[in-house]
Amino acid sequence: MSEQATIKYIQAPLTAETIKDLHAGDVVRISGYIYTARDAAHKRLYEALGRGEKLPLDLKDNVIYYVGPTPAKPGEVVGSAGPTTSGRMDKYTPTMIEQGMRGMIGKGLRSQEVIDACAKYGAVYFVAVGGAAAVIAKSIKSETMIAYEDLGPEAIRRYEVKDFPAIVCIDAEGNDFYKVGIAKYSKE
């Protein structure tokens, strides 16, 4: 039962057309620009929206990577840059999706509210392999500080990525690979 996965090469920012062609379980390579943000940055973004303030980045069609990179060694763009647990952002994510965010990259399960927001607004959740931080870091070609520099590794950065490896976990129809993947292989 060794199926060879077809890799889909996609460009970020994401378009509605790209999103429609992605399905739970698809293996992707992302190139283009993505942004980083973790818990503390999400909290600030959420609170800024609550106060009616302009955000330091336009979320429309963009992808947020849940990462807190380690410092770069000489000659490298970033240090270790593996995904963090996505569930910590679940409180804020539906609001970010409503603002036009098209994609998220992290690891682990998401709440039903996040799944519902993906289906309602046309967004996807990608998983990156935890423990592959050094491999992932090689796909990051440049880094630009965007906001909240005082948060250190949790600041918002823009990464230029080339062939960033990920898997579509939740697609824009609300299909969750953690559920459909298990169901596929549990059938006798």
Could you give the residue numbers annotated as active site? Answer: 42
Average pLDDT over residues 7-34: 97
Token readout for 141 is 């070609």
Q: How many angstroms separate the CA atoms of 36 and 108, rounded? A: 17
What confidence tens digit (pLDDT) does each residue in 94-153 have?
999 999 999 999 999 999 999 999 999 999 999 998 777 778 889 999 999 999 999 999
What number of residues does the chain have? 188
Q: Is residue 46 part of a domain?
A: yes
Question: What mean pLDDT value characterizes the chain?
Answer: 92
Tally of structural domains, the chain: 1
Give bridge partners of residue 139 from the DSSP assignment. none
Is residue 139 one of the residues assigned to a domain?
Answer: yes
pLDDT at position 180 over 90? no
**For residue 130, is it within any domain?**
yes
Domain-located, residue 49: yes
Peptide bond into 83 cis (omega under 30): no
Q: Which domain holds residue 73?
A: 7-186
CATH number of the domain residue 115 falls in: 3.20.130.10
Q: Is the pLDDT of residue 12 over 90?
A: yes
Averaged pLDDT for residues 73-79:
89
**Can you point out the beta strands (E) in the chain?**
7-12, 27-36, 63-65, 103-106, 124-127, 140-147, 156-170
| Residue 1 lies inside a defined structural domain of this protein | no
Model confidence at 3: pLDDT above 80? no
Indicate whether 150 belongs to any domain. Answer: yes
Q: 17-21, 28-32, 58-62, 72-76: which has the minimum mean pLDDT?
A: 72-76
| Residue 123 domain-assigned (yes or no) | yes
The 10s digit of each residue's pLDDT in 24-40 is: 999 999 999 999 999 99
Q: Does 25 map to a domain?
A: yes
Q: What is the pTM of this model?
A: 0.92
Number of Cβ within 10 Å of residue 152's Cβ equals 11
> From CA 96, how far away is CA 99, in angstroms rounded?
5
